[in-house]
Structure formats: structure tokens, C-alpha cells
Structure 1
């Protein structure tokens, strides 16, 4: 039986979890503003990031730093079951720093370790249980500090040089995520041609500038929807053509409609 559920608690604003069973939904390449850990429970899937593809089997974890372009989708014609935990970057780094532990990895990891998977499964069972917020926070802290999720296969990233056209474009897009900045203007401000910018931008981020702009808006929409903001207001203020366009783009990135996510 297919099912999907999100977990959020106002008492724990630094965490969000999702679990899906026998799901066939697919994701467009996207990023998160959070530090994220996912696990495959059943079925076969493929994790892609920065041009690299890694097949995933049940019991595998993926660890994704904030801002890392990625997608994880079921193998063609198959369904899969998975769970995903998103943690506020500042909160997670604070937990690690306070304990003198190493910082969150700057690269995506694929972790094939039974102990790590079992620990993550136990954590999610706690998160979706009726336990109190204090118990859930303690469980999340313990898992982050336990560190079994660190020992994984690194998926290489291609960071942009600080003075490169890509870095300039990223700075511009993050400064005004609600605006649809046309490619010729982006290229002009970055000091390069539109074709060269698309090529270099995709090599670094895994997306075109246009796709990246949509991704920024979806992440902004997620933040607003978590507070219960009206769908029409979110769509309008983030520059989507209309609610239908918002609905379509959001579902491609989140594998849930805006309404489902807000609930």
C-alpha cells in the first residue's frame, strides 16, 4: 500500500522528517537549505549528484550537505520506500561544535553500513511516535553525535571559485530568489556569454540557472508553508505565474503538492 507522511513539531523547529512507502514519485535535481540524511528501506533507486550516479539498495543512507544539488529516484518502473530527515544547518553544527565533533561533511556521502541504517531507523521510529518533544530532540542529538553516518563513499562536488562567473551568478540569485532574472542579464553581470554561463553553471551546480532559480523559490516556499501561509500568497510573492504553475513545480521538487506539504 502506497503512503507518505511528513513530521514537523513547532517545539522542534530545527527538524523535519518524511517517510514514504511503495512510492513511485520522482524528483527533479534540487537542493535543500538543510543538512539532510535519507535511507532506502525497500526497492532499488539511484542517487545522482554533480554528474555522478550511485545505485542504492535497501539499508543504504545518503548524507547531503546544504546547497548540494542531488536527486534520488526509484529505478525505472519500480517503487521504493524511504525516509528523509532534514536538520537546520546552524542547529546541527552547534550540536557538533559543542561536543567538539567534526563538522558536517561538505560533500555528499553514500553510507552502506548496517549499524548506521539501524540507528537511523530507530531515530525515525522515535520521531513519528507519540514520545514527547524533549525525548525526540535527545534522540536526534544522539544520532548526530553518534556519527555512524559519516563513514561513507564520497560523491564529488565541484565548488565554484570565489571570483568565477558561476560564483557571481549564485550570489545574484540568492540575493533575489523571488525574481526571474533572464539568462542574458545573468551572463552580462557575470561577464560571460549565456552559453558559457549555462555550461559552467551546470558543471558546478548540476542545474541550469533557470532550474536553480526555481529550486530557490521552492525552498523559500517550503519555509513559508511550514508556518501555514496561504498557498495563493506564497505562489504570488515568490513569482510563480499562478497557483497551477506553483503546484506543478513544487511537486516536481518535493514529490508532494504544496497543500500536502503544508498539512
Structure 2
């Protein structure tokens, strides 16, 4: 039986919906449609593979500017800061596959894949796979089929001339990043980070942002939001998640979650 097709008109009834099939671990599928929403710069801890259904987005990635329109595929590696907001008057609608390392291990060395693939012969295959997952028609063979499709993508995805490789990250920057990712129950002040590594606060802030794409306080906030996703999916109450991760209150947590994830904690937890 052919895979069901989810039309743009049907999908637009909800702004954001998530699917997490139990028989395809490592996959979170998102169907989103935004007209005015503005994302704060953020990252994802896993691969983000987008299928653009309508509209247009412009974004910067690794020092270069890109544009993706309906019919394009978008690939963003783990930990890479981006925004991908709607551009122009049309709504931006897309499927997004979030794929952790169990489904798509990070290759070594990392190829210089370009973020946008126009006129991909695999666009329709990914659209069909998304429709199967959304219709909850996955079975024991779905993970096998998805892995095979990802292998095709890896083999065929076009590369580009990447910017010059950056210098090695200084040990003190690694130390700061590790501390920010480890201390998630409170916001670590810049002055405290400065005193801990013996680097002036202004230099630390500037070098850290240049290296990681976000200043230290936003980097730690992103780490806290990543942890919040895991706690929400474990079934913890939203108020408890906000308290555990040191947000001033639930509204503060919800506001930042929506800016970086594109939906509220409640909708993320429930899937719609």
C-alpha cells in the first residue's frame, strides 16, 4: 500500500507537531509551519535534516549565508548554531528529522557537506518517510528503511568549499565550555568564569562567542534547554523542570524554550 501523503493544507492545522516512534529509537520528527515566529540563535544536540515544503528561509552557517526554499533539503550538524527563520511573506513549512548518533553516527573526518541541497533526487523519499512516521505506520522494518535512506544521503549529499579551518581551541575555552555544560542548576556569572580561568571577562566573552557561536550565558542556557527536553520526555512536570534547571520561574523557562525550540514545553512534551 503506498505511503500516505500529508498535504500542506492538512498539516497547517497545527503549527508544530512531534512524533517519536518507539520502534525507531533515535528519531524525533517535527512538522512545523511558521509565519512570523523568530528563533533565537540555537543549536541541536543531534543532526537536523529538513525537508522544506513551502516558503523560504535564509540563515548563516559556519560563516556563510544560505537560502532554502520549497523543494530543498537542509542539513545542520550537531552543535552548530543557526536560526532558520521564515523569509518573505509566505509561511515557512517543513518536516525536520532530528537524528541522534545511534541512527547517524558522526563521520570522521567530517565532510564539508553544504547545508542546502536543491533538486535532490531523495526529496520525495524523505517526504514519504515523514508521512509514514506521522501516520504512525512504522513497524520493525522502519528503522532499517530509514538507515538505508540516510546512507543514500551520506553518499550523494553535495559538498562545498568550506571556510578555512579554525585554529585549535585554547584549553581555557574548553574548560569554560565544560563548566557551563556541567553546572546546569544555576546561571554561572561571567565574573565567576573569569576568575576561574584567569582571563578578563571582556576577553573571555568575546573569544568564547567567536569560538562557540554564542556568548557564555547563552551557551549555558542552550545546555539547560537541551537538558530540559530530556527531562520533559522523561515525564517530569514543567514546573519541576524549570526549578531543577535554575530558571527564575516557569514563565522564564517557557519564554526561552519557545524562542529556541519553536513551541512551548507543554506542546513539546505532549507532541502537539
Range into which the TM-score falls when normalised by the shorter chain: 0.7 to 0.9
Q: How many angstroms does 1:90 deviate by?
A: 3.7
Does the 8 A contact of 2:39 with 2:259 survive in 1?
Answer: yes
Q: Where does residue 83 of structure 2 map in the other structure?
A: 71
Partners of 1:44 and 1:28 lie apart in 2 by: 18
Does the 8 A contact of 1:35 with 1:88 survive in 2?
Answer: yes
**What SS class does the counterpart of residue 140 from structure 2 fall into?**
helix
Q: Where does residue 235 of structure 2 map in the other structure?
A: 228
| Structure 1, 173-182 or 242-251: larger mean CA deviation | 173-182
How high is the TM-score relative to the length of structure 2?
Answer: 0.84
Q: How many angstroms does 1:212 deviate by?
A: 0.9
**What SS class does the counterpart of residue 48 from structure 2 fall into?**
strand
- Cα 1:185–1:203 shift into 2, 3 Å: same
- Cα 1:141–1:85 shift into 2, 3 Å: same
- Cα 1:32–1:154 shift into 2, 3 Å: farther
Q: For each residue in 1:76-129, what CA deviation from the matched residue of structure 2 results, as whole angstroms up to 9, or x when unmatched?
A: 5542111111111244229x8xxxxx7765766222232132222122122212
Q: Where does residue 99 of structure 1 map in the other structure?
A: none
**What SS class does the counterpart of residue 93 from structure 1 fall into?**
coil
**What SS class does the counterpart of residue 9 from structure 1 fall into?**
coil
**What SS class does the counterpart of residue 137 from structure 1 fall into?**
helix
Partners of 1:116 and 1:33 lie apart in 2 by: 24
How high is the TM-score relative to the length of structure 1?
Answer: 0.87
Q: How many angstroms does 1:218 deviate by?
A: 0.8
Q: Where does residue 266 of structure 2 map in the other structure?
A: 259
Q: Which of 18, 30, 34 is equivalent to 2:46?
A: 34
Unaligned runs of 5+ in 2: 1-11
Partners of 1:108 and 1:203 lie apart in 2 by: 21
Q: How many angstroms does 1:216 deviate by?
A: 0.7
Q: Where does residue 213 of structure 2 map in the other structure?
A: 206
Q: Where does residue 144 of structure 2 map in the other structure?
A: 138
Question: For 1:98-109, what aligned pairs fall within 5 Å after superposition?
Answer: 105=111, 109=115
Q: Which of 28, 36, 45 is equivalent to 1:16?
A: 28
CA RMSD of aligned residues (A): 2.5
Q: Where does residue 256 of structure 2 map in the other structure?
A: 249
Q: Which of 80, 84, 106 is equivalent to 2:96?
A: 84
Q: Which of 158, 165, 174 is equivalent to 1:167?
A: 174
Unaligned runs of 5+ in 1: 97-101
Partners of 2:249 and 2:166 lie apart in 1 by: 34
Partners of 1:259 and 1:154 lie apart in 2 by: 41
Does the 8 A contact of 1:111 with 1:153 survive in 2?
Answer: no
Does the 8 A contact of 1:110 with 1:154 survive in 2?
Answer: no
| Structure 1, 150-159 or 238-247: larger mean CA deviation | 150-159
Partners of 2:110 and 2:134 lie apart in 1 by: 24
Give the structure with the higher percent helix. 1
